[in-house]
Amino acid sequence: MTYAFLQHYWWFLVSLLGALLVFLMFVQGANSMIFSLGKTDDERRLLINSTGRKWEFTFTTLVTFGGAFFASFPLFYSTSFGGAYWLWMIILFSFVLQAVSYEFQNKLGNLLGTRTFQYFLLINGVVGPMLLGGAVATFFDGSNFIIEKENLLGGDSGPIISSWANASHGLDALLDPWNLVFAFAVFQLARVLGTLYIINNVNDDTIRNRAKVRLVGATVLFLVFFLAFLVRTLLKDGFAVVPATGEIVMEPMKYLHNFLQMPYLLALLLIGVVLVLFGIIRTVRSKTYIRGIWPVGIGVVLVVLALLVSVGWNNTAYYPSLVDKQYSLTIQNSCSSEFTLRTMFYVSFLIPFVLAYIFYAWRKIDSKQIDMDEIKHDEAY
């Protein structure tokens, strides 16, 4: 179990958490369509109580994703979460707004009114996926940061290793049109997952029929934006690492080479795409099939996992610097010590037990499909 193995192992785990987070954003996708899927107060409450059963899973995964990055690749954490803090603060604020909205929209003494909190959920449903997509796109397109490790020994700015090169602190990522293309792709993917989740979880034929209509539109837009970003990424120059020296160089079609040189990732990508298309097509064509969220969800996890792993493995800089490519972060120059990674390696053996608990809790929560009778007679948001 070498240091290099541990670096690759932890990048895989971080990528897996990121892939699970994208799947769990079906909560945001469904919330972004509260007013188009729910035309009456009861229908909107039905939708909100459906996603309200699962929002904690998404929020917890987001926090775990950040925590895993902090523990295994602390230089990325200090660079992105510290330097691009406006981008991440808006993301986190939208998720906090979501939590407050679920809990207080129907509480006594609510001065803002139920509709206001529903609009807050809609804001999180749009802002959360869009900004997370824009942040992830910088793994391929780069960000404006500076790394100066010599500052640890003292300097004019103190022991600050990383800093942002402009005053936007991360919002400049939204000025790159290709980052926006990927942001729109993630947003539309969240809506695809949201419609599939509602079809599976809400026992109401009217809402299910509306969701199928929205599913078609969201799928078309997702495919347009995602395929444009994917093709451009595979064909563009990428940030490669020279193993002997650690120097960062530009390599033509680097990300395409990564998939060809790691065929198991290409297989994951293709299997994921097939599962996504299968789940969507069968849901649209069948009047009775409501389980499309599962093949599509598994497919999304496989596709996102393949993309994120490819951007860190095979001597690739996973967080390129647009100021100077030599500042770019790799899994080798940004990771924790071997002792830390090795210790966390053994702790990671607990992950299957956590996943088993999540599976058990999910099954118990969904033991009965939500319907109007439950909204009117049982405890609900």
Contact indicator for 16, 68 with CB cutoff of 8 Å: no
Give me the average pLDDT of each 10-residue run along the chain (381 residues).
Answer: 92 93 93 91 88 86 86 89 86 89 77 84 93 92 84 60 83 91 96 95 90 94 96 94 91 95 95 96 92 94 96 94 92 91 88 82 77 67 64
pTM for the model:
0.91
What gap in Å lies between CA 112 and CA 137, rounded to an integer? 36
pLDDT for 157: 56
pLDDT given at position 241: 94
158-164: list long-range contacts, CB under 8 Å, 24+ apart. 161/75, 161/78, 161/79, 162/75, 162/78, 162/79, 162/82, 162/83, 163/83, 164/83, 164/84
State residue 151's pLDDT score: 62
Model pLDDT, residue 164:
86
Contact yes or no for 58/27 (Cβ under 8 A): yes
pLDDT at 136: 92
- Give 94: exposed, middle or buried? Use CB within 10 Å, 0-12, 13-18, 19+: buried
155 secondary structure, DSSP code: -
Q: Report the chain's C-alpha Rg in angstroms.
A: 21
**SS3 of 38, please?**
coil
pLDDT value at residue 213: 93
Q: Give the model's pLDDT for residue 55.
A: 86
Specify the pairing of strand 248-251 against strand 238-241: antiparallel
Number of C-beta neighbours around residue 264 at 10 A = 10
